[in-house]
Structure 1
Amino acid sequence: MLAMNYRITLPADYDMGIIRHRVATRGHALDDFPGLGLKAYLIKERGVAGSAVNQYAPFYLWHTAEGMNSFLWGPGFRGLVADFGRPVVEHWTGLAFRPGPAVAAEPLAAVRRAERLAPGEDPADAVARAVDELAAEAGRPGVHSAAVVIDPRHWELVRFTLWEPEPTQVPDEPGAERCRVLHLSRPGLDALGAGRQW
């Protein structure tokens, strides 16, 4: 499993209806994209759910590297670059994925929590702890699914959870970014498996 996220911060007075229209008219293009586990079309709106910015921030879980490459070098991403400029694409290797009790529902919210490992921390211990904690996270009522991923270049762990409730109804957690899900493409959700990825 591979994870990918880019975050396009927009002006404070940007009409987020433009992004909503973009997702409504183009989002279904990835509903059957080969190699894609899921893509959550995420937005943050200034003044909503504690956000200080307007942002378009899709988050992807891929079950094949070929799928991710096909997207990045294909027409979909080229269209985004043409409209918004080339964003920084963060990417991580997958550690574990779990469906939650609301996996059959349409998620309305996402929570992304990033954590840098301390310089002296054993990465194997940190990964084991994060994978163990994922089972409890994914089992919470209202959770669609949850994943934990890592960037071993910067030693950053990211926990990503999709929720059925609205962003304002999701429990607030220190350091967590809450987003609204406009659409979820999930052609290979089952191919992501359940549990740790090794």
Structure 2
Amino acid sequence: MIAMQYSFNLPADYDMSIIDRRIVEKGPMLDGFPNLGFKAYLSVRKGEFGSRDNLYAPFYLWQKPEGASDFLCSPGFETLTGSFGWPRVRTWIVWRSEVSSDIAAARFATRDILQTEPYAPLADIRRVESTEAGADLATGALASVFGFEPTIWTRVRFRLWRELPEIDEQTQAYRVGHLSLARP
């Protein structure tokens, strides 16, 4: 599995209702996309949840790499980049993901990106992260995705929630405008 996210930092005076409309109109187009676990259409307004910026930042969980490749090569992604520019697409190899049967009720998301120190014991970190991801559903998360990226050595902790939990200043929180899911 691969986790993927790109983010568009929008001007402070940007009319975020444009993003809200885009999510409503375009969101269902990825429902059932091949190899998609889920796509969370995420946004946040400057000042909301402590965000310093207006953001549009979809997050994907791909069951197979071909899904990510097919999407990035699609006319939909081409249209997106024509509207908002060429984003840096972050990807992480998924260590563990847990998805509740109630995932469709997600209204909020949180994302933490952590740096992995050089020569850190990756097997130990993976074991701890995987245990935490597994425990997330018991604490109210509707989905939990933990992964790592070995080019610049980051780790991601991404969660979907019905209600936003208490967060710290390192955690980026978002509103979920739409959730595209794999076909059953």
TM-score in terms of structure 2 length: 0.95
Which residue does the alignment assign to 2:53? 53
Cα distance between partner residues in 1 of 2:28 and 2:166: 29
Cα distance between partner residues in 1 of 2:52 and 2:93: 29
Give the number of aligned pairs: 184
Structure 1 residues 114 and 39 mapped into 2: Cα distance closer, same or farther (>3 Å)? same
- Shift, 1:174, TM fit: 4.8
> Are 2:170 and 1:175 equivalent residues in the alignment?
yes
Cα distance between partner residues in 1 of 2:134 and 2:166: 17
Indicate if the aligned counterparts of 1:44 and 1:55 stay in contact, CA closer than 8 A. yes
- Whichever residue aligns with residue 107 of structure 1, its letter is A
Cα distance between partner residues in 1 of 2:104 and 2:66: 28
Which residue does the alignment assign to 1:162? 160
Which residue does the alignment assign to 2:10? 10
- Whichever residue aligns with residue 15 of structure 1, its letter is D
Cα distance between partner residues in 1 of 2:117 and 2:135: 23
RMSD of aligned alpha carbons: 1.4
Unaligned runs of 5+ in 1: 191-198
Indicate if the aligned counterparts of 1:106 and 1:184 stay in contact, CA closer than 8 A. no
- Shift, 1:104, TM fit: 4.7
Matched residue SS, 1:139: helix
Which residue does the alignment assign to 1:144? 142
Task: Give the alignment partner of residue 179 of structure 2, picking from 184, 190, 195.
Answer: 184
Cα distance between partner residues in 1 of 2:174 and 2:104: 17
Point out the more displaced range, 6-15 or 145-154.
145-154
Indicate if the aligned counterparts of 2:50 and 2:169 stay in contact, CA closer than 8 A. no
Extract structure 1 runs of 4+ deviating beyond 6 A: none
- Whichever residue aligns with residue 22 of structure 2, its letter is R
Matched residue SS, 2:106: coil
Which residue does the alignment assign to 1:24? 24
Cα distance between partner residues in 2 of 1:25 and 1:93: 30
Residues 66-86 of structure 1 deviation map (CA, whole Å, 9 limit, x = unaligned) = 111111001110010110111
Cα distance between partner residues in 1 of 2:144 and 2:137: 5
> Are 2:108 and 1:118 equivalent residues in the alignment?
no
Indicate if the aligned counterparts of 1:117 and 1:126 stay in contact, CA closer than 8 A. no
Indicate if the aligned counterparts of 1:112 and 1:158 stay in contact, CA closer than 8 A. yes
Residues 124-155 of structure 1 deviation map (CA, whole Å, 9 limit, x = unaligned) = 111111111112222212x2110101101122
Q: How does 1:80-119 map to 2 (within 5 A)?
A: 80-100=80-100, 103-119=102-118
Cα distance between partner residues in 2 of 1:7 and 1:182: 15
Unaligned runs of 5+ in 2: none
TM-score in terms of structure 1 length: 0.88
Which residue does the alignment assign to 2:132? 133
- Shift, 1:99, TM fit: 2.2
Cα distance between partner residues in 2 of 1:174 and 1:46: 14
- Shift, 1:175, TM fit: 1.5
Matched residue SS, 1:175: coil
